[in-house]
Amino acid sequence: TNLSPFNCSFQAMEREVSAAFDRGDPSEIMSSAFKLQVTREDIHTLRDLEWLNDEVINFYMNLLVERNKKEGYPAVHVFSTFFYPKLISGGYKTVRRWTRDVDLFKKDLILVPIHLSHHWTLVVIDIRKKTIKYFDSLGHKKDEICESLFYYLQEESQQKRNVQLNFSEWTLHSMEAHEIPQQDNGSDCGVFMCKYADYISRDKPIIFTQDNMPYFRRKMVWEIIHQQLL
């Protein structure tokens, strides 16, 4: 049966999400794509006030990339959550091969999910506007992360296409708390980060709030299981 969201009742979707949250074999694979697997245990990080894990975030980010292959969406590249720690610990040479099949400079947007010990944040590199912005749902500023990613981009441009990026042409900015929706608990940073990425990758204003989080969590469960964004 074709379970597109348009011929699948809200009740049926709710039942499916509840079933995914039920007890069951934690290692059961609930979704598999993009060379990634999401288990029931991973899906359970979307419950209530749990912290999202790498598996859920990387899978969801790949769903954004898939959606954006359609006409009318910006071309997006997403780095895995493991990219930034590798770049910081080992420098450009350790991540040089991560883009061997992709020309970052032909993309519109590059999304970099970042995990800071107990907190998820997002960096958005807009190649069209030459901006690098840091999105943090707790309002912290991390200009140094934007700088690290600019230097990565500079190196990538030099190595892959022999073009020097000029720092003075780029704008690096940590978004202020008043500029983007903020969380008011200690557990929703991962969902905020995923939704920043969702809205930005549609070139839409970011207009959700903390109140939307329980709904977003359940929606993400359905989207991951069906490998399709609503």
- Helix (H) or strand (E) segment spanning residue 172: strand 171-174
Task: Please state, as a whole number, how many other Cβ atoms lie within 10 Å of the Cβ of residue 160.
Answer: 15
Which residue of the set 54, 108, 119, 226 is catalytic? 119
Is 5 part of a structural domain of the chain? no
Is 152 part of a structural domain of the chain? yes
Task: Clarify whether 194 is annotated catalytic.
Answer: no
Rounded distance between C-alpha atoms, residue 1 and residue 8, angstroms: 10
Give the per-residue pLDDT at 9. 74
Asked whether the beta carbons of 191 and 52 are under 8 A apart, the reply is yes
Is 141 part of a structural domain of the chain? yes
Which CATH number fits the domain that encloses residue 113?
Answer: 3.40.395.10
- 3 state SS of 103: coil
Which CA distances in Å does 2 have to 83, 107, 222, 224, 230?
36, 32, 14, 16, 15
Give the per-residue pLDDT at 10. 77
Is 10 part of a structural domain of the chain? no
Give the per-residue pLDDT at 11. 83
Which residue of the set 146, 189, 194, 198 is catalytic? 189
What total number of domains does the chain contain?
1
Is the CA virtual torsion 171, 174, 179, 180 positive or negative? positive
What are 16-60's pLDDT values in tens digits? 888 999 889 999 998 899 999 999 999 999 999 899 999 999 999
Q: Give the residue numbers spanning the domain of 152.
A: 23-226
| Tokens at 162, concatenated | 């022999």
Asked whether the beta carbons of 62 and 33 are under 8 A apart, the reply is yes
Task: Clarify whether 136 is annotated catalytic.
Answer: yes
Is 18 part of a structural domain of the chain? no
Which CA distances in Å does 72 have to 29, 41, 139, 203, 230?
33, 35, 31, 10, 16
Is 76 part of a structural domain of the chain? yes
φ/ψ region of 203 (left if φ > 0, alpha if ψ in -120 to 50, else beta) reads: left
Is 201 part of a structural domain of the chain? yes
Task: Please state, as a whole number, how many other Cβ atoms lie within 10 Å of the Cβ of residue 20.
Answer: 22
pTM: 0.92
Is 61 part of a structural domain of the chain? yes
| Tokens at 185, concatenated | 């608990």
Rounded distance between C-alpha atoms, residue 162 and residue 155, angstroms: 9
Asked whether the beta carbons of 158 and 167 are under 8 A apart, the reply is no
Asked whether the beta carbons of 41 and 30 are under 8 A apart, the reply is no
Task: Clarify whether 143 is annotated catalytic.
Answer: no
In 3D, which of 149, 94, 144, 97 has the Cα closest to residue 127? 149
Rounded distance between C-alpha atoms, residue 177 and residue 61, angstroms: 23
Which residue of the set 136, 146, 188, 198 is catalytic? 136
- Helix (H) or strand (E) segment spanning residue 128: none
In 3D, which of 101, 207, 206 has the Cα closest to residue 160? 101
For every one of its 230 residues, what pLDDT tens digit does the chain have, with 9 covering 90 and above?
455 555 567 788 888 888 999 889 999 998 899 999 999 999 999 999 899 999 999 999 999 999 999 999 999 999 999 999 999 999 999 999 999 999 999 999 999 999 988 899 999 999 999 999 999 999 999 999 999 999 999 999 999 999 999 999 999 999 999 999 999 999 999 999 999 999 999 999 999 999 999 999 999 999 999 999 98
Give the per-residue pLDDT at 1. 44
